[in-house]
Structure 1
Amino acid sequence: MKIFEDCNKRYKIRTLREQHIGKMEIRFIYCLLIFGLSLVVGTGCPPQETSNPVTPENISEVVLENYRLTENETWEPEKTYIVNNTLEVPQDITLNIPPGTTVKFGRNASIAVRGVLKVGTPLAEAQVIQLVRFTSDKVVPAPGDWNGIFFDHTHDLESFIRGTVIEYASIALDIKTTSPTVAECTLRLNETAIALDGSDAHIRHNDIIDNDIGISTIGRQTLPRIENNTIAQNETGIFCENVQSTIEHNNLNANVFALRLNVKFDLIVTDNWWGSPDPIEIADVIIDGADPGLIIKQIGTVIYEPFAETRIAEAGFPYPTLLTGLE
């Protein structure tokens, strides 16, 4: 009996050891399967979008989907940023987009600025060396592909846009109750390049070309300054409902209509070049109270004399060679 029990005990020990080894083998195979499956899932499925994506340094494109800044940011000029839907700059937050940066916008995408937006070369620097580009992400782009940049009642004086190409937007710069400086930029192929509403913005040394409307101004209690620009080849160069606007030393040539007044008050716009030294030809490209056949309400008169008799050489975008390769 003792021998039988000893044999049975050894049998039980061997069986338990075999069972334990078998379980370890099963667990090992299971772990291998899980690891293999995780590799397949990791390579086959795109990562989930986050509101604050972290991008590896070796990635050249950054996709921002409904992105809201939570702290001050400075973007990297060697990367291309693709904005889908809305990019929001909240109150008390600053977004700095340095020279050399390209930003592409998806269909109906926009930037909503409630904080501070600094784009391109700082105003204190003497010269623009590289451009920022805001453009459509479409292979065949067209005006109105993306909504534009909306300054939303920030009452801000720190924002600026300098040395920047903005194209293919619905309203490239929609500026409400804030007063950024827009300097040394090219705004082209937009439905409206700049819309000013209750703004004291300073618009200077820009090329505003090939848009439906170059600049639209409304609001009566503000004093925007539109100086030393080339506003050309637009359907309407300037659409004006703010007669307190300063509009001087601009080239306003080759538009279907250089200026359209849309309020009952007179507007003084002296020392501009209208594409001709002939007052009759100048009057033909201005719509005001003298054109009853083209208007349906009481409109004031545009007082454009004295005017420049030749093109103003220092007006417009001063760095045309930087546009090479951006066509």
Structure 2
Amino acid sequence: MKRYLKSLFKISISLITIGTIVMFIGLLMGGAKALSKEVTELVHVVRVGVAETVERIPLLESITNINGFTLVVDRDEVKVEVNEEYETINGDYSNLKLAEASQVQNLDISILNGKCYILPSANGYYGIESSDAEDFQCYVSDGTLYLSAFPKDFGTDAEKAEIILYIPNETEYEKVILFCSGEQLEGEVRMTGNELSISSICGKNTFSDNLIFEDAVITVGIGELNMNGLSADSVKIEVSTAEAEIDNLQADTMEVNLGMGTLSIQGITEEDIILNCGMGHLDIMLGCAQEDYNYDISGSAESVQIGTDTLAGMVMERWIDNGSHKKITMSCAMGSVKIEFEQ
């Protein structure tokens, strides 16, 4: 009997071990599939000029080594149709004047490779400088300034390409669209307006001055995002596997969707917050008191910390009523969420 029980125990342990391994493999495969889908969708939102289109960038099946995964993009398959009505320029330019301040109501900037810097204009008009750049367009059409940089060769020389766009500081826009899949996109200028869209597939993205818009959507695939100063009535932040940090955020409402990356947010919100965390790590510092919100929490999180309260468990649903008029709705799968309060 003892021998039978001993054998049964060994079999049970083996089955549990195998089941656990299969479960984690399934989760990793599911995460990789979700990442592939998310980043592929990022490519489709690119808007490059009036007549330009960017076809789908195929994703290879090998995904390893970025938070456990590596996204491999076959840049050779990228096909771009430029606007034939405007000149495609190459090489080095210094202080090339593009437009007066009154001629531009929208910005549409797409950087596929190399580095791009958006800096304040000392002359009050829009200008551009370039170094080692090839095949880029910069023009104004129907009140929109388009900057599209698409090098033919994605080798070492293309990565050296640098473009500086000078724009008047504190200009108000109807819509600003910034897209980057290059090495670096950096903004050091104050802008205001109605709609702001920042989309990044990869690379390092830095915005070090205040951006004030009614609606702001920040979408980051892989790479890095650092932002200091964002004010909006409505803010939506989506991060796949990137490392992102947003400081001095001021918003009425905020929605956060985090995949497998890390996201740190510091700021003030006046109304409801929605947090969705997959396998990543989300840290938020709010400039209020813990009791200023009610909390609707669900998921099977690694850990959830709200102020002085720590929650954990395989299956978790919790409603915390502080009698507030505003609410934080949180869903967390396998990641971790930490919310701290300055008051």
TM-score if structure 2 supplies the norm length?
0.47
TM-score if structure 1 supplies the norm length?
0.49
Higher-strand-fraction structure? 2
* Structure of greater relative contact order (alpha carbons < 8 Å, 6+ residues apart): 2
